């Protein structure tokens, strides 16, 4: 509804100070033309909205203008009181702070809403751990948070994927949790880079400050970085026929293989499946594990690879 959108614009400007037409349109999932019409409506209603031109321009409210349209809707209240990941709160060392803030927020609500908010925690619980979660070293998180908040450069000793160590001075911008794995986003030699926190073996705070990049948005950067990483991954696609007995197992083995597509069963009852792997070696090891319950259709080079592996296993156990 337009009325809800106008209120959202008002609150966004109040909280952010200044936003461009494009940023508002992206946030509210409408066109820029719609934002311009909404701004005209706000101005006509007596809301002091100003447009600043230029490179660093945007929409803003007249200084010190504050709206009192802060009532919470039922769904907004539910999202506000959803339980976060206690694992990540624990990693950051703020579990106690979060619980205290939750109680203060709950106490600030009218009595009619308190029981409703309290019940949200008994309806939805978020657990990001896998069933067999391996623990990762996150002792560096404390100093990393301090450096991020104080905008101070740090010296780190970092272990690369090939087990080599490097020492460097970086400018930490933010922390990102991907599942239960923490990453540090930082400027290193003028470039934005991601560092896995578990590979940071030592952290030393320096007394040298740094200036955060203009208009840097951590969430936007991470999403683009993630997309670039996924697109750069190698892909090895395989066409097979699978016995109906293992179809469910194929669907549950996403860590090693991705099921791209399945087709209707053939005359023999077996199901054509297209699989995607990172490498040919992974495909070989994966497929041989299903024995005579999966048949390779293409590529032919994979058939030869599976044969060689099977023969080597037989020779080994002779």
218 and 245 co-located in one domain:
no
Q: What pLDDT does 148 receive? A: 95
294 lies in some domain = yes
Please tell me the distance from the alpha carbon of residue 184 to that of residue 197, in angstroms, as a whole number. Answer: 6
pLDDT in tens, 15-40: 788 889 998 999 888 998 998 888 88
Q: How many CB atoms lie within 10 A of CB 82?
A: 12
Contact 236, 282 (CB under 8 A): yes
56 lies in some domain = yes
Contact 157, 219 (CB under 8 A): no
161 and 101 co-located in one domain:
no
| Residue 310 φ/ψ, nearest 5 degrees | -65, -40
147 and 210 co-located in one domain:
yes
**Start-to-end C-alpha separation, the chain:** 74
8 lies in some domain = yes
CATH of the domain at 34: 1.10.10.10
241 and 306 co-located in one domain:
yes
pLDDT in tens, 216-245: 999 999 999 999 988 888 889 999 999 998
Contact 25, 37 (CB under 8 A): no
302 and 290 co-located in one domain:
yes
267 lies in some domain = yes
68 lies in some domain = no
pLDDT in tens, 91-128: 888 888 888 887 777 776 666 666 677 677 777 778 87
- Reply yes or no on whether the pLDDT at 161 is more than 70: yes
Q: What pLDDT does 98 receive? A: 83
**Average pLDDT, whole number, for the chain?**
85
13 and 50 co-located in one domain:
yes
Please tell me the distance from the alpha carbon of residue 201 to that of residue 298, in angstroms, as a whole number. Answer: 45
Range of the domain at 260: 236-317
165 lies in some domain = yes
Number of structural domains in the chain: 4
149 lies in some domain = yes
Q: What pLDDT does 72 receive? A: 63
Q: Is the pTM of this model over 0.85?
A: no
130 lies in some domain = no
3-state secondary structure 51-72: EECCCCCEEEECCCCCCCCCCC
Q: How many CB atoms lie within 10 A of CB 192?
A: 15
247-261: average pLDDT: 77
CATH of the domain at 216: 2.30.30.520
Q: What pLDDT does 134 receive? A: 61
287 and 221 co-located in one domain:
no
190 and 248 co-located in one domain:
no
CATH of the domain at 241: 3.30.70
**Domain limit, last residue, from 201, 232, 263:** 232
Please tell me the distance from the alpha carbon of residue 84 to that of residue 75, in angstroms, as a whole number. Answer: 17
């Amino acid at each position: 509804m337009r009325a809800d959108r106008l209120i959202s614009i008002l609150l966004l400007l109040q909280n952010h100070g200044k936003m461009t037409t494009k940023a508002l349109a992206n946030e509210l999932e409408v066109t820029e033309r719609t934002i311009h019409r909404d701004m005209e409506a706000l101005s006509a209603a007596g809301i002091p909205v100003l447009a600043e031109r230029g490179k660093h321009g945007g929409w803003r409210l007249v200084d010190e203008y504050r709206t009192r349209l802060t009532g919470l809707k039922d769904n907004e209240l539910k999202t506000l009181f959803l339980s976060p990941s206690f694992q990540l709160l624990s990693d950051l060392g703020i579990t106690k702070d979060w619980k205290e803030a939750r109680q203060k927020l709950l106490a600030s609500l009218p009595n009619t809403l308190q029981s409703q908010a309290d019940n949200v925690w008994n309806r939805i619980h978020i657990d990001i751990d896998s069933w067999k979660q391996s623990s990762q070293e996150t002792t560096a998180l404390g100093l990393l948070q301090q450096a991020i908040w104080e905008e101070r450069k740090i010296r780190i000793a970092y272990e690369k994927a090939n087990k080599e160590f490097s020492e460097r001075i970086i400018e930490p911008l933010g922390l990102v949790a991907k599942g239960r794995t923490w990453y540090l986003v930082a400027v290193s030699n003028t470039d934005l880079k991601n560092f896995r926190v578990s590979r940071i073996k030592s952290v030393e705070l320096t007394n040298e400050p740094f200036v955060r990049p203009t208009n840097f948005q951590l969430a936007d950067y991470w999403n683009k970085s993630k997309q670039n990483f996924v697109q750069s991954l190698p892909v090895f696609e395989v066409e097979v026929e699978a016995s109906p007995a293992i179809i469910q197992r194929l669907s549950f083995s996403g860590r090693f293989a991705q099921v791209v597509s399945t087709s209707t069963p053939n005359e023999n009852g077996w199901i054509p499946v297209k699989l995607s792997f990172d490498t040919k070696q992974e495909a070989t090891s994966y497929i041989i594990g299903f024995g005579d319950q999966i048949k390779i259709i293409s590529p032919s080079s994979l058939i030869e690879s599976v044969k060689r592996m099977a023969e080597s296993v037989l020779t080994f156990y002779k």
